[in-house]
Amino acid sequence: MSQSSPPPAVRFVEVPAECDGQRIDNFLIRTLKGVPKSLVYRILRTGEVRVNKGRARPEHRVAAGDSVRLPPIRVAAEDDAPAMPARGLLERLEAAILYEDARLLVLDKPSGIAVHAGSGIDAGVIEGLRVLRPEVFLELAHRLDRDTSGVLVLAKTPETLRAIHDALNTRSTDKRYLALVRGAWRGGEHVVDAPLRKGMIRGGERMVEVAPDGKPALSRFRPLRRLADCTLVEVTIETGRTHQIRVHAAHLGHPLAGDDKYGDPAFNRTLAALGLRRLFLHAQLLSLPLGGRPLTLEAPLCPELARVLDTLAARG
């Protein structure tokens, strides 16, 4: 007669040094291997997870030595662990590495790849790179939307992760994006200082909107090149809210090309006929003050987007 395994019980784990500065949701996902991410976020939302006896939001960052209370959860057996990321994803990520040293791994993230698993996505950038670099600490230093391409930085040490977060929090970084927007741009630089609120739902999808009670968000749009019925702009952001550039561009009356959430469907169809099959938003440059001097990382515009610009230029 087989013995059943004992029921799960509350347990406490201490945050190891290598996880110092990690977000609590990522810490739990790594600690509770085999537990669905939806459950991880539910136990955070309901307050069942405690850090040093206090409730923690998903964005809370743990410190080495913190005591984390885990509620009774049955962790899946090793055989039930998440599947290995597809070979095609691993090959695309390996080919997209722009720069790597002892502190950083920098990716020219392709459009269409999420930075992490969730919402029906089995694996993203972080899961794939941890397979490719299993021997090293790897954490996302910041995020890009799934449909945005360009510079994405991952930290290879907790110290580097903290340094990048400090730089982002004090706004001592330089982040520049290239975007193609609808319409002929009038004037020079436009600054959008409009708070953003998440949670609005349309057609079953979560949306972001400009709202007085939202979180502060500031974007600067500078025209670079006027093309047929649209404009190529450079965007710098002082905050990193979800969908910030997309919502602020639409708020200006110049929605992004290929934006199926906040954009203009007719404009998107016109650009699709010219070969645009994705959102035209590219993280071109990120400069970080690391080690006492700035490290500037750049990702060239991908061939698909460059071809669209060439086609528009030829139309006059």
Residues catalogued as catalytic: 145
Q: What angle do CA 22, 28, 32 make, to 5 degrees?
A: 140
d(C-alpha 184, C-alpha 182), whole Å? 7
**Taking the C-alpha atoms of 263, 267, 272 and 275 in order, what is their torsion angle to the nearest 10 degrees?**
-110
| Rounded Cα–Cα distance for residues 286 and 296 (Å) | 6
Token pair 């972001």 is at which residue?
A: 208
Q: Are 284 and 131 in contact (CB under 8 A)?
A: no
Whose tokens are 């029906």? That residue is: 120
Per-residue exposure over 145-169, b if at least 16 CB sit within 10 Å of its own CB, e if not? bbbbbbbbbbbbbbebbbbbbebbe
The sign one gets for the Cα dihedral 294, 142, 237, 263 is positive
Rg (CA), the chain: 21
Contact partners, residue 92, CB within 8 Å, separation at least 6: 110, 113
